[in-house]
Structure 1
Amino acid sequence: MFRPLSLFVGLRYSKAKHKNKFVSFISMASIFGIILGVAVLIVGLSTMNGFEKALRDQLLSVIPHAELEVVEGDFKNEKDVLSKVREHPGVVGASPYIVMNALLQNNINMKALQMRAINPDTETQVTAVEKYIKQGGWELLSGAENSIILGEPVANQLKLSVGDTVTLLLPQPSSVKLRAPRKFAFTLTGTFKMGGQVDTTLGFIHINKAKQILGVKHATGIAFKVDDVLQAQTLAREVAYSIPVYMYVKSWITSQGYLYQDIQMVKSLMYVILLLVVAVACFNIVSTLVMAVNEKRGDIAILKTMGANKWSLRAIFMVQGAFNGLVGSIFGALLGTYLSLNLSTIFAAIENLMGRKFLSGDIYFIDYLPSQIDYQQVLVITVVAFVMSVVATLYPAWTASNIEPAKELGYSH
């Protein structure tokens, strides 16, 4: 089968054993460097993709995407406001709520947390907290307005079991001074475990009970879910401008957005740092080819005397370097893809082997190392690594093409 001279000779040089063993070592080191750099870059970015997906699927499933909260009083026309919010383009669902900062007491055990009073019938349009309820369920809040649902860590701290009674303490209104806090008895009808700080800072009661306690007739806030989480803040403002009420506008970006920003920043840094690692590995090809050119000076001189032009000679060494880059890029992509697809399992095995948990669900919103591979990213990384390896061949290739046959073959005086 016909092959161009440059391709034929370049591939022969790539596979041939070098007289100088050090050249062979540098050649293999450049290939392994590219493999390692590409694989680590793919694994690192897959991990960041996994954290981003976990943030969207898990954390944002229990935190409302956006909230509107009146500055003073409550929503006098609650039903109309809810209808307006639900009809707005981009909004998936809405639910009323009331928030109270309270103190829970069981004997001598006490815990301060935020009580979120919700409507169980519409809360599922906004969040998916019911998925994380270990005992009981939303329907128990509807069945008894004195019901309360707490995070497992809070229930354990207060030494409570499902069915036990807990006292909720609220401060007196600002107009009433030097009075003991108001006390309300609630029955623990369920516990939830989502992971992270939400478990220790949040509790749920029925919105009707909160209205009775606070002496209001309507909700003080509207929570809603949007179809594009990254546009939550913009949509929240648009919805707020369509409602003639003075209120606070909040979204997950203001409360939890630092997590998403951290992930994006780490991704950007990882791109730069690991591409530099790949670049260093690629420029090992320069060392390999410079030594290969010095080793093959006689061969180059003979090819020149036989009529090989400068571009043919350049192409020979570009093919040789590109072959190393291609092998390194492809094997690096395969290794990185395999590790990314099995990263969670590998990480769990390492945790079991070392007998310790690296990601605690009590601190982070997940207790495992997530991974989501993006094949478009894999393709881009592979192509970039290969292009960098080809660029690294330019200087040695130009050096080879400038060799003078007369000097090398001893014909000059």
Structure 2
Amino acid sequence: MYRPLSTFIGLRYSQAKHKNRFVSFISIASILGIALGVMVLIVGLSAMNGFEKALRDQLLSVVPHAELEMVSGSFNDIDATIAKIEAQPDVVAATPFITLNGLLQKDNKMKALQIRAIDPRTENNVTNIEKFIKGQGWSLLSPNKNTIILGKSVAEKLQLSIGDSVFLLLPQQGAQTRLKAPRSIPFKLVGIFAMGGQLDSSLAFIHISDAQKILSMDSANAIAFKVNDVLKAQSIARSVGYSLDNYLYIKSWITSQGYLYQDIQMVKSLMYIILLLVVAVACFNIVSTLVMAVNEKRGDIAILKTMGAGKWTLRFIFIVQGAFNGFVGCLLGAMMGIYIALNLTELITHLEALLGHKFLSGDIYFIDFLPSQINYNQVIIITLLAFVMSVLATIYPAWRASNIKPAQELGYSH
């Protein structure tokens, strides 16, 4: 099969043993350095993609995408308002709710948390919290029965079991001027949810009719809704809020949980920069390899020149040699990176079992495992970028090789 002279000689130089063992060592180091950089970059970005997917699929499935809350009072016609919100093009569904902040008391134990009063009939249209509730889900909450569903962490802290009674302590209404004893309202624990993260220790659910009775309200004072594009939740919430005549607080998941998404994006950007620098360092090894290879092959280069080889032919010989190292390194790195990224969750699970230590705690983070989602477009971009960097690293040594003077080199050999 026909191959250009520069390609043929360049590949022969790449596969031939060097007289100087140090040159061979540097050559292998450059291949392994590029492979390691590409592999770590693919694995790291796959982990960040996994966190981003878990954020959307898990955390944003239990946290409402957006909320509208009355500054004072409650909505006059809650059904008409919900219908108007759901008529907006970017809104999927809406549900009313009321928020109370109070203390839960069981004997001498207390826990401060947010009580979310929901409508079980429409809550599933907006969140998937029900799937984390053990037993019968939202049907456990009965209207006007003072039933409550608590997070696993709260139930464990207060040493509560299903069927136990617990008291909800709320400030007295209109108690702004002087200190009054809090109201104590008995509730029966009917369900426990385990969503993971801080939600288990800071959130509880009651029926919306119970909250209306406790607060003497005619209807809900807040509406949660789901949007079709979670990353545009803030702007959608703003446009929906402005379409209503009420004076409202406008919130979205970006306000409360957006720091997680921003942290993931920041880490991804930093990872690109830092690990590409690792690849760049490995490419400097290619420069070192080729500079030493040029010095080793000075006599061969001089002979090729006397036989009529042009400057670009000589340059391409060393460009091919360096590119071969880069290609092998990129290919190895991509293969190892894809394999580890596809099996990252299982590998980390086995490592945790071996060490007896959890890297991600479900009590702190919204997941208790290391997720991974490989993006093959990113793999291609990373591999091509590393290969281009390795080819660019060959230009200086190749240029030096083309400037060798045959008469001077062959004269020295005599």
Q: TM (normalized to structure 1)?
A: 0.98
Q: 1:180 Cα deviation (Å)?
A: 2.4
Q: Give the Cα separation in 1 of the matches to 2:164 and 2:129.
A: 22
Partner deviation per Cα, 1:160-186 (whole Å, 9 max, x = no partner): 111111111111112574432222221
1:267-346 aligned within 5 A: 267-346=268-347
Q: Give the Cα separation in 2 of the matches to 1:358 and 1:412.
A: 63
Q: 1:142 Cα deviation (Å)?
A: 3.7
Q: Give the Cα separation in 1 of the matches to 2:158 and 2:144.
A: 22
Which amino acid in the other structure matches residue 261 of structure 1?
Q
Q: Give the Cα separation in 1 of the matches to 2:263 and 2:412.
A: 66
Partner deviation per Cα, 1:130-174 (whole Å, 9 max, x = no partner): 111124410111466321000011111111111111111111112
Runs of 4+ in structure 1 deviating by more than 6 angstroms, as ranges, are none
User: Structure 1 stretches of 5 or more lacking a match?
Assistant: none
Q: Give the Cα separation in 1 of the matches to 2:371 and 2:142.
A: 36
Which amino acid in the other structure matches residue 262 of structure 2?
Q
Counterpart of 1:191 in 2: which secondary structure?
A: strand
Counterpart of 1:9 in 2: which secondary structure?
A: helix
Residue 125 of structure 1 aligns with which residue?
A: 125
Residue 29 of structure 1 aligns with which residue?
A: 29
Q: Give the Cα separation in 2 of the matches to 1:86 and 1:208.
A: 22
Matched, 1:9 2:9: yes
Q: 1:32 Cα deviation (Å)?
A: 0.3
Counterpart of 1:358 in 2: which secondary structure?
A: coil
Q: Give the Cα separation in 2 of the matches to 1:28 and 1:150.
A: 59
Preserved CA contact (<8 Å) 2:311 2:402: yes
Q: Give the Cα separation in 2 of the matches to 1:68 and 1:298.
A: 79
Preserved CA contact (<8 Å) 2:151 2:193: yes
Residue 351 of structure 1 aligns with which residue?
A: 352
Q: Give the Cα separation in 1 of the matches to 2:203 and 2:312.
A: 71
Matched, 1:110 2:107: no
Range with bigger deviation, 318-327 or 127-136:
127-136
Preserved CA contact (<8 Å) 1:136 1:189: no
Q: 1:411 Cα deviation (Å)?
A: 8.3
Q: Give the Cα separation in 1 of the matches to 2:179 and 2:89.
A: 49
Which amino acid in the other structure matches residue 4 of structure 2?
P
Q: Give the Cα separation in 1 of the matches to 2:84 and 2:237.
A: 12
1:2-401 aligned within 5 A: 2-142=2-142, 145-175=145-175, 177-401=178-402
Partner deviation per Cα, 1:283-330 (whole Å, 9 max, x = no partner): 110000000001111111111111110010000000000000000001
Q: 1:40 Cα deviation (Å)?
A: 0.4
Preserved CA contact (<8 Å) 2:143 2:207: no
Q: Give the Cα separation in 1 of the matches to 2:402 and 2:372.
A: 47
Q: Measured at CA, do residues 8 and 163 of structure 1 come closer, stay the same or move farther in structure 2, by a change above 3 Å? A: same
Q: CA RMSD in A?
A: 1.4
Q: Give the Cα separation in 2 of the matches to 1:31 and 1:194.
A: 45
Q: Give the Cα separation in 1 of the matches to 2:136 and 2:149.
A: 8
Q: 1:27 Cα deviation (Å)?
A: 0.3
Preserved CA contact (<8 Å) 1:166 1:187: yes
Preserved CA contact (<8 Å) 2:94 2:225: yes
Q: Give the Cα separation in 1 of the matches to 2:413 and 2:135.
A: 93
User: Structure 2 stretches of 5 or more lacking a match?
Assistant: none
Which amino acid in the other structure matches residue 361 of structure 2?
S
Q: Measured at CA, do residues 381 and 97 of structure 1 come closer, stay the same or move farther in structure 2, by a change above 3 Å? A: same
Q: Give the Cα separation in 2 of the matches to 1:101 and 1:158.
A: 17
Q: TM (normalized to structure 2)?
A: 0.98
Q: Give the Cα separation in 1 of the matches to 2:130 and 2:340.
A: 34
Q: 1:362 Cα deviation (Å)?
A: 0.5
Range with bigger deviation, 137-146 or 298-307:
137-146
Counterpart of 1:72 in 2: which secondary structure?
A: coil
Identity of aligned residues (%): 68
Which amino acid in the other structure matches residue 345 of structure 2?
S
Counterpart of 1:362 in 2: which secondary structure?
A: coil
Counterpart of 2:172 in 1: which secondary structure?
A: coil
Q: Give the Cα separation in 1 of the matches to 2:362 and 2:156.
A: 16
Q: Give the Cα separation in 2 of the matches to 1:134 and 1:333.
A: 43
Which amino acid in the other structure matches residue 54 of structure 2?
A
Q: 1:280 Cα deviation (Å)?
A: 0.5
Which amino acid in the other structure matches residue 406 of structure 1?
A
Q: Give the Cα separation in 2 of the matches to 1:199 and 1:144.
A: 24
Q: Give the Cα separation in 2 of the matches to 1:412 and 1:103.
A: 92
